[in-house]
A and B are shown apart, each in its own frame.
Chain A
Amino acid sequence: MKKSVLFGALTVTGLVAGAAQAATLDDVKERGELNCGVVTGLAGFGAPDANGVWEGFDVSVCRAVAAAVLGDPTAVNFVPTTGQTRFTALASGEIDMLARNTTWTFSRDTDLKFDFAGVNYYDGQGFLVPTALGVSSAKDLDGATVCIQTGTTTELNLADFFRNNNISYEPVPVETNAEAQQQYLAGACDAYTTDASGLAATRATFENPGDHVILPEIISKEPLGPLVRHGDNEWGDVVRWTLNALVAAEEFGVTSANVDELSAAPGTNPEVNRLLGTEGELGAMIGLGNDWAKNAIAAGGNYGEIFEKNIGENTPIGLARGLNAQWTNGGLIYAPPFR
């Protein structure tokens, strides 16, 4: 009897283990839909519009990946996640990838068993305070009440910043950006801290954005990027190179307007040709069709177009390119060669 229990257990184990290791790329293709974890709502980065269609900077990455894999940028099932639920959702396989302004850190990459596909926004943590407080530096915040999203790196940076400067504060933990905004506007906290881009996005939705100021101190490095589960390298490659394709497209001047024309026939630049599949077999190397990059770029434009459309200087968020300019313009955005 004991033996049969053992065999039964072994069989079940084998089945389960087999299922857990199946390739995400095949799953997505079979499902015909990409499960993409996004923020619960942060203007410019990921929020549903008036018609309930998700749009934003991070959302565009999901759409580009869906377009590259499935040829359809709308074949995405957006799963809103909070700071606390996002990693469990990704680790458990509920979502295939997470594009939710998540900071690339050592422990998340190694201990939490994720792989970051790259950086789509170089950010840093800042503080938002009402102008009426008369605070000009984060070091003046001794004794202040600070709203902070739980389960984030910003929570740890905040503790370190106040500890290093030997000043005290009272944390008010909140779950989502919307909750933080409500608490902050009600005056239940003196300051709100998160990534500076998030602060700008939040402030843009206020009734009187001019009454609030983002303090000059940036207290941390926050490289934000999409991530996938560790161990499924094929799928990680797909996400990584889709992001790189968007970046490279900006560098080579491939936009959503001219991508169809450029991909119709081989042009003069061999790297653009390889990228758009008119030369070589790059798509086959990552298990996709040869028009994968073309589809990804056509979905929402290249990196620069996505930036300008969602969070650029002409949007209410009004973020300058800064560190997120192409390396050719003195920024940090840089795609490895397509070859």
Chain B
Amino acid sequence: MTTTSDVPKAGFRPSQLIYDTRYRSLTIQVIAFIALMLGLSWLVSNTIANLSALGKDFDFGFLGQRAGYDINQRLVEYDSASSHGRAALVGILNTLLIAVLGCALATVVGVLAGVLRLSKNWIVANLMAVYVEGFRNIPVLLWILLIFALMTESTPQPRDFRDGGDAAMILGDSVAITNRGVFIPAPFWGAGAGILLAVFLVSLVGIYVWRRHAHKVQEQTGRILPIGWGTLGLLIVPTALAFLALSATTGRERLPVYAVGAEANMSLADFTAGPGAQGLNVCAVPGSTEALNLRRLMRAGEARFNLVPVADGAAAIAAAEAGRCNILSLPGGTDPATVPAGAVALSEDIARGLPVEFERPVLGGFNFEGGLQLRNSLIALWLALSLYTGAFIAENVRGGILSVSKGQTEAAFALGIKPSRTMRLVILPQALRVIIPPMISQYLNLTKNSSLAIAVGYMDVRSTLGGITINQTGKELEGMLLLGLFYLVTSLIISSAMNLYNSRVKLKER
């Protein structure tokens, strides 16, 4: 006989799913999950059904097809025979360019305006208030269009720079501001540019070492070493010395200009009139100082020519032997014995060039040639996005500074620290932990707002992949998905990088 009574069974009844708090939350989650999945499956099946109703397939093969259109601003090699994928890459790089330029300028403008808005100077503080309120409260698209309209309507045409026109280049004839953009000198890399870069990188390391050393000395002895002057000197002096040394040696070298089919000691003018009468094709390494000096020589002789880009001296010789060019200059140090058959040095020669030379823009047939063109679309978009986002950043900075208790400033002043150092060493480090998190959102905003580029014809990824490519191929869904993916990935990268920085500056608890 057993005496033990039955243990009450923990029987599960379905009603417990609703009335028992242990299970209720689970029920709600399951229902929400099912609803979400239903919604998603509806979206997907709707898409599939509509695509098949329209007779369209889902396929990314169009990325490999020939694009067929030209893009004016290219950071990588591209022409109309390249693929749609390549066009998308050009657009992506243009978007990233405007994002980086914009974030940098917006930070500078924002921090300055934010600090100055707290200035005790009434005029400065109120000017900054006007800037912040003006830019923050007017849509960014209007600012983009306004700056673009100003740039195109109020600046002179390239034609006006001709003799008799009323426009002139500025800064010693090196910068031209036109309604097609601002033309500035472009750098060309010559012999020894690699050495120059190495020296510069080493001096950067030197600066880092110097600053650590100065910090250590101050910690140990209290003696303050001249950090600013040391940094400046290390930044400039070694590189400048290397530049001068290289210029004095390789820069003085002269290089012969070879022409295929010329006679000995023939001048360029004679060659152009004689053996080269059917057209001059010049083999040169694009971006090198040899190419620049060769072009200057050709321009001085008013000779019309086509540039045949080659990778290096050996490629130039091969191209000349294949008959693709009849004028070439060989990079310094090329063995004279390898000069292609039939090529004779002309009576003119060119300088090998300094490690870095700048090519000024000059007025060509329709437009300025040479130099670097900052298109109006880029400038308008860059300035508008930076000023707009800068206004928000200014408010973040102001809020951050105000969040630091006034006692900190008073304490610093009581210790005899100068106001500029108080701001730099006491206030800003504490303010940063308040400033950085909202700043991340502003960077993300700027990057995404750059898709307004189409309004001024800036060829960003929205204009190439999301605009012309979609229009020519009819792949709206694929194009928009790729576009969304690109912005998503870019935003995630920016925010994770900024989060890393944030975790470095935030309040450390030890």
Interface residues of A (CB under 8 A from B): 1, 5, 8-10, 12-13, 16-17, 20-21, 83-84, 87-88, 91, 107, 111-113, 132-133, 141-145, 150-151, 155-156, 158-160, 162-163, 166, 169-175, 183, 186-190, 229-231
Contacts and interface: CB of A to CB of B under 8 A. Distances in A.
Given A88-B476, A150-B471, A190-B367, 4 more contacts: A13-B46, A113-B55, A143-B367, A188-B157
Interface stretch (B65-73, B342-350, B430-438): B65-73
Contact of A173 (B56, B463, B474): B463
Given A172-B457, A186-B153, A13 B463 contact: no
A170 B72 contact: yes
A112 to B, nearest CB: 4
Contacts of A183: 152
Which of B68, B366, B454 has the largest count of A CB atoms less than 10 A from its CB? Answer: B366
B251 to A, nearest CB: 31
Contacts of A175: 454-455, 457
Contacts of A88: 476
B69 A156 contact: yes
A99 B197 CA distance: 59
A183 to B, nearest CB: 7
B453 to A, nearest CB: 10
Contacts of B48: 13
Interface string B74-102: 00000111000000000000000000000
Contact of B366 (A21, A113, A143, A173): A143
Nearest to B181: A188
B56 A113 contact: yes
19 contacts: A9-B41, A13-B48, A16-B46, A16-B49, A20-B53, A107-B474, A113-B54, A143-B365, A143-B367, A143-B369, A144-B367, A145-B366, A150-B467, A155-B468, A160-B80, A169-B70, A174-B457, A188-B179, A231-B54
Given A9-B45, A151-B468, A160-B68, A190 B80 contact: no
Nearest to A113: B55
Nearest to B473: A111
Contacts of A186: 152-153, 157, 179
Interface string B305-328: 010000000000000000000000
Nearest to A141: B366
A295 to B, nearest CB: 31
A112 B70 CA distance: 22
Given A143-B366, A186-B153, A187-B179, A231 B46 contact: no
Nearest to A182: B152
Nearest to A86: B471
B195 interface: no
Contact of B49 (A17, A84, A150, A158): A17
Given A8-B42, A12-B46, A150 B468 contact: yes
B69 A187 contact: no
Given A155-B69, A156-B472, A188-B152, A9 B369 contact: no
B45 A12 contact: yes
A122 B21 CA distance: 75
A83 B471 contact: yes
Given A155-B69, A163-B79, A171-B72, A9 B42 contact: yes
Nearest to A144: B366
Interface string B444-474: 0000000000110101000100011001111
Contacts of B55: 113, 230-231
B180 A171 contact: no
A231 B53 CA distance: 9
Contacts of A189: 180
A162 B467 CA distance: 22
B367 A5 contact: no
A111 B474 contact: yes
A276 to B, nearest CB: 37
Nearest to A172: B457
A5 B41 contact: yes
A138 B118 CA distance: 59
The 8 tightest CB contacts between A and B, nearest first, are A151-B471, A187-B157, A159-B80, A20-B53, A112-B474, A173-B457, A144-B366, A17-B49
Contacts of B476: 88, 91
A16 B50 contact: yes
Contact of A5 (B34, B153, B365): B34
Contacts of B46: 12-13, 16
Given A17-B49, A143-B365, A174-B457, A188 B180 contact: yes
Contacts of A111: 473-474
Contacts of B474: 87, 91, 107, 111-113
A35 to B, nearest CB: 17
Given A13-B46, A113-B56, A160-B80, A143 B467 contact: no
B38 interface: yes
Contacts of A141: 366
A169 B41 CA distance: 49
B82 to A, nearest CB: 11
A170 B45 CA distance: 44
A138 to B, nearest CB: 13
A156 B67 CA distance: 9
Contacts of B54: 20, 91, 113, 229, 231
B39 to A, nearest CB: 10
Nearest to A156: B68
A141 B69 CA distance: 18
Of B49, B56, B72, B369, the most chain A CB neighbours within 10 A belong to B49
A87 B471 contact: yes
Interface string B474-496: 10100000000000000000000
B159 interface: yes
Nearest to A170: B72
A156 B471 CA distance: 12
Contacts of B364: 143
A12 B180 contact: no
B457 A84 contact: no
A47 B72 CA distance: 31
Contacts of A17: 49-50, 52-53
A20 B47 CA distance: 11
B203 interface: no
A23 B388 CA distance: 48
A171 B463 CA distance: 13
B472 A171 contact: no
A108 to B, nearest CB: 8
B468 A5 contact: no
Nearest to B81: A163
Nearest to B368: A143
Contacts of B366: 133, 141, 143-145, 190
B289 interface: no
Contact of B467 (A16, A21, A151, A160): A151
